[in-house]
Amino acid sequence: MRFRPCIDIHNGKVKQIVGSSLRDQGDFAVENFTAGQDAAFYAGLYRDQGLAGGHVILLNREGSAYFEETRRQALQALRAYPRGLQVGGGIHTENAALYLEAGASHVIVTSYVFQNGRIEYDHLETLYRETGKEHLVLDLSCRKKDGRYLIVTDRWQKYTDVELNQKSLEFFSGYCSEFLIHAVDVEGKAEGIETELAELLGQFERIPVTYAGGVHCYEDLRILKKAGHGRVDVTIGSALDLFGGTMKLADVLREISAPSL
């Protein structure tokens, strides 16, 4: 289990939001925290502490009023920590190389592959050839519906008909080197993790998986470590002291590295 830092950028600022509140219309989101520092500041902090494999996420839709400023922030972060961060948010074949050349170790993709409730296999194949498996992370963020975890797209606003289970994880792992999975219903709410989802992810061993959503105390880390059999990495947003929360980064790293009982 490893800690994966994050830099979420919305309307040109580093923020923590309630994930399920994000809307394209008016670039709206319910905000938990807005940073006074820019994205490069956080990238430098993670670099200096040797925290690799974190996620820079652009939360504005390409073409929206704030997108260019959000992208500028993301590029600054990548240049501040070359090959130390992954980037996601509106990634497709036309811009993937730009982010990799700017310093991203991986690009994180959802909506380019999952659209209108189906898998765009041609897009998946094209992106796989463009970036290589070693530079591709698939974001299989999901929400529970009718007892199943379904992958959601378009800033988590649209359900697909693709269920997150061992079969789908096995299939998609053939195209990427990691998974990033937000438990969208608890994302940004700091009310506890989706234990059932963590247990599902903990059964998968082929490639690294990072869980995001709901972590708000050190006990959540212990629960995640147990449910995920120590194989599921974690990212923390609103609850972290860097983003106005009460969980101190040093204590988080200590808890994660502690042996399981």
Q: What's residue 29's pLDDT?
A: 63
94 burial level (CB within 10 Å; 0-12, 13-18, 19+): exposed
Q: What's residue 229's pLDDT?
A: 94
| Distance in angstroms (rounded) separating the CA atoms of residues 113 and 127 | 9
Which residues are CB-neighbours of 120 under 8 A, at least 6 positions away? 112, 113, 114
Does residue 109 surpass a pLDDT of 80? yes
| Distance in angstroms (rounded) separating the CA atoms of residues 68 and 61 | 10
15 burial level (CB within 10 Å; 0-12, 13-18, 19+): buried
Tens-digit pLDDT profile for residues 205-225: 999 999 998 899 999 999 999
Q: Mapping DSSP to helix (H, G, I), strand (E, B) and coil, where does residue 78 land?
A: helix
| Distance in angstroms (rounded) separating the CA atoms of residues 166 and 251 | 33
Q: How many CA atoms lie within 13 Å of 151's alpha carbon, on the beta-carbon side?
A: 27
- pLDDT class of 26 with cuts at 50, 70, 90: low
| Distance in angstroms (rounded) separating the CA atoms of residues 108 and 7 | 13
Does residue 257 surpass a pLDDT of 70? yes
- Average pLDDT over the chain, rounded to whole? 91
Tens-digit pLDDT profile for residues 50-78: 999 999 999 898 888 999 999 999 999 99
Q: What's residue 16's pLDDT?
A: 82
Does residue 261 surpass a pLDDT of 80? no
C-beta of residue 29 within 8 angstroms of C-beta of residue 22: yes
Ranges of H-type helices in the chain: 39-48, 67-80, 96-102, 121-131, 166-172, 195-202, 218-227, 249-257
